[in-house]
Amino acid sequence: MEKLYDQYDRVHDYVRLSITDRCNLRCVYCMPKEGLPFFPTDKVLSQDEIVQMIENFAEMGISKVRITGGEPLLRTDVVDIVRRIKAVKGIEDVSITTNGLFLAKKG
């Protein structure tokens, strides 16, 4: 199995993947008062593209995936994305960084 190394010759077994640039909060540390331009929906990775990327990373020894954003729970298909990533051969851990405001709606 090919492994993923960084410029300092360290092996990596995890990847952080932002699945959206949108957020439901306007925290001062990441959202200026004047706002930010968001990617058009057709420029954001599809479920199939995300899963293909994770399959490629898994072939390089990645076993842990952290889903991030913006706010990943804003994606209507986030549950399906997590389910499909979890099913990728070699992926042992899938976690998500969220502000948690939409957890009740997803459960």
Which tens digit of pLDDT belongs to each residue from 51-67? 999 999 999 999 999 99
- Neighbouring-strand partners of residue 4: 12
Q: How does strand 64-68 pair with strand 14-18?
A: parallel
The partner residues of 66 in beta bridges, in order of sequence, read: 16, 95
Measured CA to CA, the distance from residue 71 to residue 14 in angstroms comes to: 20
d(CA 46, CA 44): 6
Mean pLDDT of 74-82: 95
pTM for this predicted structure: 0.86
CATH topology of domain 4-106: Transcription Regulator spoIIAA (3.30.750)
- pLDDT at residue 13 is higher than 80: yes
Domain spans in the chain, listed from the N-terminal domain onward: 4-106
What pLDDT, on a 0 to 100 scale, did the predictor assign at position 64?
Answer: 98
